[in-house]
A and B are shown apart, each in its own frame.
Chain A
Amino acid sequence: MSVTRIPAGYVPLTDAAPLIAAQEMGFAAEEKLALDLHRAPSWSLLRDMLAFGQVDAAQMLAPVPVAAALGLGGASAPLSVLSVLSVNGTVIGVSGGLARKMAAAGHRFFFDDAVAAGRALIAAGGPELRIGVPFPFSMHAELLTYWLTGLGAGTPPDIGIRTVPPPLMAEAIRSGEIDAFCVGEPWGSMAVEQGAGALLLPGRAIWSFAPEKVLAVRSAWADREPGLSGRLIRALWRAGRWLADPASRGLAAEILSARRYLDLPAEIIERALSGKFTVTPQGLQREAPGFIGFHDGAAGFPWRSQAQWIALQLARRNGLDRRAALETAGSVFRSDLYRAALRDTGAELPDGSSKPEGAVGAPLAAGGESEPAGLLQNRFFDGRVFDPLAAD
């Protein structure tokens, strides 16, 4: 079998690691694949590159394929999600001015308590609070809305969420264009390094098992290339397993920092991988264990219920029929293809393809096909549970 080349796109972020590691560490080669990696400057461009066939696979914000299926956003071909590339990995930060105000009011920046941090943010930010996110269809926007709405801050447009490309986040904070942000690493840490702001909370404090980036392909491609998509799923599953090993962190950060990938200091990239953060320009240290997940807890499994949680938020905000949105979204996350690709690899595979989200308080054995699939904590900050069977 000769090597098949697959053009694949990513946006320069720490969570582009699975695609980059798959190529650099030989996991793609093990499946007789070569990934031609294309770095995209914006999510809209990467989505268009995928939709129009410039790349066949792409790292994508989990809500983008769901939004496309619901007819929201720019022109797109139908997209399918083959696997979840990363769980969590975003960070919420505030401007220096807002951080001082919150500190003066007694907030301690412990970097773990979503209720305390949210209340402090709402109190200090007032009704005019403006928060930057990388893209209108992103977990950043969904988690912020879920969190601040849950704490009584109203709903968008009352919550001023606006789009700021990650590399411009620090500048936007400094210039006063926004007061706070939610962004993928390393751009939160970069803002701290540049003295522009302080980190308030890891995204996982809002939902401890939120699908963040997914492996997206055109649905037509997935249907036409079952063999190739299977090989791709396996290569990325192995890359995720490698990334989850603490011994890999140093090397992974070095590879990502290369000029052709992120072109940023390895030390700053490694903070997200190790969960050890510098949260203020003054050097306050905080730990966020499990800040980003690539493998543990069947992280790669594209749960239909994850797509449905996203669809429900999108439907609410855009006035779509909720039941229809739930139905459409479920089939965007292809748990069937994922399961078929990994059946004989010893990978943890859960029995079901849908589950109540937010219902696992502590690590749990869910029972699976090959071995018990250990599920990691899966909690929303407010303890609510999303049951796709009961939701609409």
Chain B
Amino acid sequence: MVLRMPDALSIAVVEPDRERAFMIVEGLREAGDFDVQVISEPSGLARQIQMRDPDVVLIDIANPSRDVLEELTLASGPKDRPVAIFADRSEDGLSAAAVEAGVSAYVVDGLQPARLKPVLDAAIARFRLFQRMRTELAEAKRALEERKVIDRAKGMVMKARGISEDEAYALLRKAAMDQNKRVAEVAQALVTAAGLLA
């Protein structure tokens, strides 16, 4: 059994070649306090990863099993994890372009132990940034939707009562406070009710 330190980042290294796997594990050991597991058997890769549930997956750029990781990313949804991809050479500049575009995936010269730690940190940081951006985007969308509903409700109150915009908003806010609800919820209820009565 692998003794797992609670705070150590867990890394699954997908590498069928023993020697390369050994090099990577050594490099990671030098680089920091990681809980490293090697997956050398490509069969059942998806199951193996789901079972071990690592924080990050490392795979070589030339490994065809990367397509299996793609499936995992789709399947696991909110639990998706960063996949760092090792490229021995930076010939094509693919990594740089991909990383600039916000993919957590590509890592250059990954097999040099000295470079592993910063590269991993970058991959994970980028992944978290990406995740945060997605959350923020969803938040922003929601806020925008709510503002539209509040605007509509405000307009309805203004017309019905012949009052100003500020007064209408104050009324909505008071109703929300009285009912211990959010302004957006009260506005939505009003808009829905008006729809039914129309």
Known: A45-B61, A75-B102, A172-B43. A54 touches B94 (CB 8 A): yes
Q: How many residues of A contact B (CB 8 A)?
A: 29
Q: Which residues of B contact A136 (CB under 8 A)?
A: 70-71, 74
> Could you tell me the distance between the alpha carbons of A79 and B103 in the complex, rounded to whole angstroms?
17
Taking a contact as CB atoms under 8 Å apart, the answer to whether A165 and B67 are in contact is: yes
Q: Would you give the shortest CB distance from B110 to chain A, in whole angstroms?
A: 15
> Could you tell me the distance between the alpha carbons of A236 and B46 in the complex, rounded to whole angstroms?
37
Taking a contact as CB atoms under 8 Å apart, the answer to whether B66 and A45 are in contact is: yes
1/0 per residue, CB under 8 A from B, across A221-244: the answer is 000000000000000000000000
Taking a contact as CB atoms under 8 Å apart, the answer to whether B67 and A163 are in contact is: yes
**Cross-interface CB contact of B73 among A41, A74, A172, cutoff 8 Å:** A74
Taking a contact as CB atoms under 8 Å apart, the answer to whether A163 and B46 are in contact is: yes
Known: A136-B74, A172-B43. A43 touches B103 (CB 8 A): no
Known: A48-B94, A163-B46, A172-B43. A73 touches B70 (CB 8 A): yes
1/0 per residue, CB under 8 A from B, across A7-48: the answer is 000000000000000000000000000000000011111001
Q: Which residues of B contact A163 (CB under 8 A)?
A: 46, 67-68, 70-71
| Chain A residue at smallest Cβ distance from B71 | A163
Q: Which residues of B contact A175 (CB under 8 A)?
A: 43-44
Q: How many residues of B contact A (CB 8 A)?
A: 27
**Cross-interface CB contact of A168 among B64, B74, B97, cutoff 8 Å:** B64
A162 contacts B by Cβ under 8 Å: yes
| Chain A residue at smallest Cβ distance from B63 | A41
| Chain A residue at smallest Cβ distance from B99 | A52
In chain B, residues 120-135, which have Cβ atoms closer than 8 Å to a Cβ of chain A?
none
| Chain A residue at smallest Cβ distance from B102 | A75
In chain B, residues 31-89, which have Cβ atoms closer than 8 Å to a Cβ of chain A?
42-44, 46, 61-71, 73-74
1/0 per residue, CB under 8 A from B, across A245-286: the answer is 000000000000000000000000000000000000000000
Q: Would you give the shortest CB distance from A69 to chain B, in whole angstroms?
A: 16
In chain A, residues 118-145, which have Cβ atoms closer than 8 Å to a Cβ of chain B?
134-136
Q: Would you give the shortest CB distance from A343 to chain B, in whole angstroms?
A: 35
B196 contacts A by Cβ under 8 Å: no
Pairs A–B under 8 Å by Cβ, sample size 16: A41-B61, A41-B64, A42-B64, A42-B66, A43-B70, A44-B70, A49-B94, A52-B101, A54-B92, A54-B94, A73-B70, A135-B71, A163-B70, A166-B64, A168-B42, A172-B43
17 new A-B contacts, CB < 8 A, other than A41-B64, A42-B66, A53-B97, are A41-B61, A41-B63, A42-B65, A42-B67, A43-B67, A43-B70, A44-B66, A44-B69, A49-B92, A52-B94, A52-B98, A54-B92, A54-B93, A54-B94, A135-B70, A136-B74, A165-B42
> Which 4 residue pairs of A and B lie closest in terms of their CB atoms, listed nearest first?
A165-B64, A52-B97, A163-B71, A42-B66
